[in-house]
Chains A and B, each alone.
Chain A
Amino acid sequence: MKKLKLVIEGMHCSSCAGNIERSLKKVAGVKEATVSLMLKKGTVECEDNVSDDEIKKAVVRAGYKVARIE
């Protein structure tokens, strides 16, 4: 298990945060995903084999962008 911190761009309403959470949770291996509209940040708990790319793609699928992963 690992924990990733995402800095997300393009969110401006709370349904946005919900959409990103939903999209992230669909990625195989992701256990938990929370996105904060206020901090423009997300936290993802996932298996070690989930790549940063998969996470980024999930955010893009919901219509937003990952500025960086910490």
Chain B
Amino acid sequence: MSEHENHKDMDMEHNHDKPAEDSEIKSWKRKLFWSWLLTIPIAVLMLSERLFGFAIVEMPYSIILILALGFPVIFVFGWETIRSGIRGLFTFYFNMDSLIALGTIIAYLTGIFYFTGIVADYSGVAAMIMAFFTTGKYVESVARGRASSEIKKLLELGAKKSMILRNGKEIEVDIEEVKIGDVMIVKPGEKIPTDGIVVKGESSVDESMVTGESLPVEKKKGNPVIGATINQDGILYVKATKVGNDTFLAHIIELVEQTQSSKIPIQRLADKITSVFVPIILTLAVLTFANWWFFSGDLSRAIGVGVAVLVIACPCALGLATPTALMVGSGMGAKRGILIRKGEAIQTMKEIKIVVFDKTGTITKGKPEVTDIYSKVKESYLLEVAATLEKLSEHPIAHAIVSKANLKKYKKVTSFSIVRGKGIVGKIGSKEVVIGNRALMNDKKIKYSDFEKEIIKFESAGKTVMIVSENKKVIGAIAVADAIKEDSVEAIGRLNANGYRSVMITGDNERTAKAIAEQVGIKEVIANVLPEDKAKKVEELQNGGMVAFIGDGINDAPALKQSNVGIAMGTGTDIAIEAGDIVLVKGSLVGVVQAINLSKATFKKIKQNLFWAFAYNIVAIPLAVGGVLHPVVAEIAMALSSITVVTNANLLRRKKI
């Protein structure tokens, strides 16, 4: 993400509350400093005989000193942990802190009970456990902060203030006060405050932060702009069209937050274990203590081993394994305009065998243009008839014909109806006009054999042909072509090379569809599919393996739902928020390849993390029970386990997608 914020923007943002993560890191850092300041002398006191050959402070005064130094470490700087842990024990909402609190308090108490003569002194160990715990938490919170850095940037991307024109005057207002219809003034280097349409001025705009598009986009009067993108060189006057929760950025943030709260199936086992983990460890620690005491008769040793069991167990690594990797993965995606809405898609992605593309607007630009006209009447007459009727249709092909004809005046249409997936029927004056594909002509029993040769010629070139008839007689054919997106060929080539079965689905006829498919490298084509039947076709394909469907999210919603992973394509200024497990902000198919790679890489990281977290606990806990590990070593191992998991998640960034 590029850092374009100028001073003004910095100024605009100063009054907002600090991210929680930063204050958490700071608080751990402070505790870390003070804990060690007191714990290092404790360690020296404990080890002085071994270090220097004599005790710098005689027993039992050294114990009193250790207790005095250790008290603030545990009960002042460690107070939050102790309080949360003890509270957990009483309310039965056990957490990680419960284990640490119990471990340190028991160890600390041995220092006091030493004077009754029943146990050896472990009080120094208590402070050391707390100090290492704090260190671990500090490192972990830094790493966690790094894991969520991209997402955090996204959350804080929105502008805070805006210059608007009111009654001819420029005034600065808070972003919440900008209303739809307000004209905002955006100077070079500033953020565009909210979504809108340029009403005056020309400039290029850096949209990389929201769409992942690296090149600046030229904007002039009439062009839509996205809030939070950065105006580069000219002054833009932008009329606000969307504010608050309806903006493009708000939608992106909503999607990203959904990712974090969605559960991935593989995490379920870890979650289940985490929820019973602490009570199990508590029981295990008591049993271990009782066993050691009973069989060795050494109370001090039994306490030491019991404390080691308490502090070595770490549900954190298990609980952090998935969310951290998911966070890094979704951050990497967001940066590239890939929004993973459902975490489950990440797991399903690796099973995908078949990738199905919708044609129009997905492989092609979705903006068809008239390329050829074949007519038995005057071309201008043919276009006039066609455009008059098509004017009433919303279909992209209709738009193409209307703009080609470019009529000044329209004749009166007396009846009009749309035949879905086939064409249109209507009346201009007394003339009955039918415009559509072969199927419609057949339905209406209109003969078009005279035109067949030309139609086939157009279709073989990948063009869609509209047959125009007047009073049951064909008067001409209009060929419309929808240009292929520049990077469709590359993207499909990469998918094919990776062994995916690529399929194109379209309402077009077989010949046109095949011609397009051939140009982009797709081998399988399902043509003549009515919009409502796309989901059914996806279902049929699912017999052959898991299917990913890529479509525009508006017309293809049912097919996106039916598929195992639905990837919805955005148009650059609009995103389909409800459809699709993964949403691509940009309309580029390369995003599909990246989404697949990213999902696979993220899932692999999650699996790795879960493996390490499980393996750690499976190995470490028995060692502690067996009395092999000193409590301090146990605590260090514990801290390292969660640090490893979070750091490993951060390593995902190295993966090229």
Chain B residues with Cβ below 8 Å from A5 are 257
Task: Tell me how far the C-beta of A50 lies from the nearest C-beta in chain B, rounded to whole angstroms.
Answer: 18
Do A18 and B263 touch (CB < 8 A)? no
Cα–Cα, bound, A52→B383 (Å):
62
- Mark out the residues of chain A between 30 and 61 whose CB falls within 8 Å of any chain B CB in the assembled complex: 34-43, 61
Chain A residues with Cβ below 8 Å from B20 are 9, 40
**In the assembled complex, A13 has its CB within 8 A of some CB on chain B:** yes
Chain A residues with Cβ below 8 Å from B21 are 40
Do A18 and B319 touch (CB < 8 A)? yes
- Our pick among B24, B96, B263, B326 for the contact of A34 (Cβ within 8 Å) is B263
Task: Tell me how far the C-beta of A2 lies from the nearest C-beta in chain B, rounded to whole angstroms.
Answer: 15
Cα–Cα, bound, A15→B81 (Å):
13
Compute the total of residue contacts between A and B using a CB distance below 8 Å.
Answer: 86
Chain A residues with Cβ below 8 Å from B570 are none
Cα–Cα, bound, A62→B323 (Å):
21
- Our pick among B95, B147, B260 for the contact of A36 (Cβ within 8 Å) is B260
Question: Given contacts A37-B323, A39-B257, is CB(A10)–CB(B93) below 8 Å?
Answer: no
Do B277 and A38 touch (CB < 8 A)? no
Interface centre among A10, A35, A37, A43 (most CB of B within 10 A): A37
Task: Tell me how far the C-beta of A37 lies from the nearest C-beta in chain B, rounded to whole angstroms.
Answer: 6
Cα–Cα, bound, A13→B24 (Å):
12
Q: Mark A2-41, 1 if CB is under 8 A from B, else 0.
A: 0001000110111111110011000000000011111111
Tally of chain B residues near chain A (CB < 8 A): 37
Task: Tell me how far the C-beta of A54 lies from the nearest C-beta in chain B, rounded to whole angstroms.
Answer: 17
Q: Which residue of A lies closest to B94 (CB)?
A: A15
Q: Which residue of A lies closest to B96 (CB)?
A: A13
Do B261 and A36 touch (CB < 8 A)? yes
Do B274 and A63 touch (CB < 8 A)? no
Q: Mark B604-636, 1 if CB is under 8 A from A, else 0.
A: 000000000000000000000000000000000
Cα–Cα, bound, A35→B257 (Å):
11
Cα–Cα, bound, A5→B254 (Å):
11
Do A63 and B93 touch (CB < 8 A)? yes
- Mark out the residues of chain B between 15 and 37 whose CB falls within 8 Å of any chain A CB in the assembled complex: 20-21, 24
Question: Given contacts A22-B275, A63-B91, is CB(A12)–CB(B141) below 8 Å?
Answer: yes
Q: Which residue of A lies closest to B86 (CB)?
A: A63
Task: Tell me how far the C-beta of A44 lies from the nearest C-beta in chain B, rounded to whole angstroms.
Answer: 10
- Our pick among A9, A15, A35, A39 for the contact of B95 (Cβ within 8 Å) is A15
Question: Given contacts A12-B24, A13-B316, A19-B93, is CB(A38)–CB(B275) below 8 Å?
Answer: no
Cα–Cα, bound, A43→B94 (Å):
22
Tally of chain A residues near chain B (CB < 8 A): 26
Chain B residues with Cβ below 8 Å from A13 are 95-97, 315-316, 319-320
Task: Tell me how far the C-beta of A14 lies from the nearest C-beta in chain B, rounded to whole angstroms.
Answer: 2
Do B324 and A15 touch (CB < 8 A)? no
Task: Tell me how far the C-beta of A65 lies from the nearest C-beta in chain B, rounded to whole angstroms.
Answer: 11
Question: Given contacts A12-B141, A63-B84, A63-B88, is CB(A17)–CB(B93) below 8 Å?
Answer: no
Task: Tell me how far the C-beta of B19 lies from the nearest C-beta in chain A, rounded to whole angstroms.
Answer: 9
Do A39 and B315 touch (CB < 8 A)? no
Do A18 and B91 touch (CB < 8 A)? no
Do A36 and B84 touch (CB < 8 A)? no
Chain A residues with Cβ below 8 Å from B324 are 38
**In the assembled complex, B271 has its CB within 8 A of some CB on chain A:** yes
Do A41 and B257 touch (CB < 8 A)? yes
Chain A residues with Cβ below 8 Å from B144 are 38
**In the assembled complex, B127 has its CB within 8 A of some CB on chain A:** no
Question: Given contacts A34-B263, A37-B323, is CB(A15)–CB(B315) below 8 Å?
Answer: yes
Interface centre among A19, A40, A61 (most CB of B within 10 A): A19
- Our pick among A18, A22, A38 for the contact of B327 (Cβ within 8 Å) is A38
Chain A residues with Cβ below 8 Å from B24 are 12
Do A37 and B261 touch (CB < 8 A)? no
Do A18 and B257 touch (CB < 8 A)? no
Cα–Cα, bound, A45→B87 (Å):
27
Task: Tell me how far the C-beta of B330 lies from the nearest C-beta in chain A, rounded to whole angstroms.
Answer: 10
Q: Which residue of B lies closest to A15 (CB)?
A: B95
Chain A residues with Cβ below 8 Å from B422 are none
Cα–Cα, bound, A27→B475 (Å):
70
Do B261 and A14 touch (CB < 8 A)? no
Do B95 and A43 touch (CB < 8 A)? no
Do A36 and B323 touch (CB < 8 A)? yes
A-B complex: 10 closest residue pairs judged by Cβ atoms: A14-B319, A34-B261, A36-B260, A13-B96, A15-B95, A19-B93, A62-B93, A38-B327, A13-B316, A38-B323
Point out residues on A near B: beta carbons under 8 Å: 5, 9-10, 12-19, 22-23, 34-43, 61-63
New contact pairs (17) apart from A16-B96, A18-B271, CB-CB < 8 Å: A12-B141, A13-B96, A13-B316, A34-B263, A36-B260, A36-B261, A37-B319, A38-B144, A38-B260, A38-B323, A39-B261, A41-B261, A43-B261, A62-B93, A63-B88, A63-B93, A63-B95
Q: List 6 A-B contacts (CB under 8 A).
A: A15-B316, A15-B319, A18-B319, A22-B275, A34-B262, A63-B95
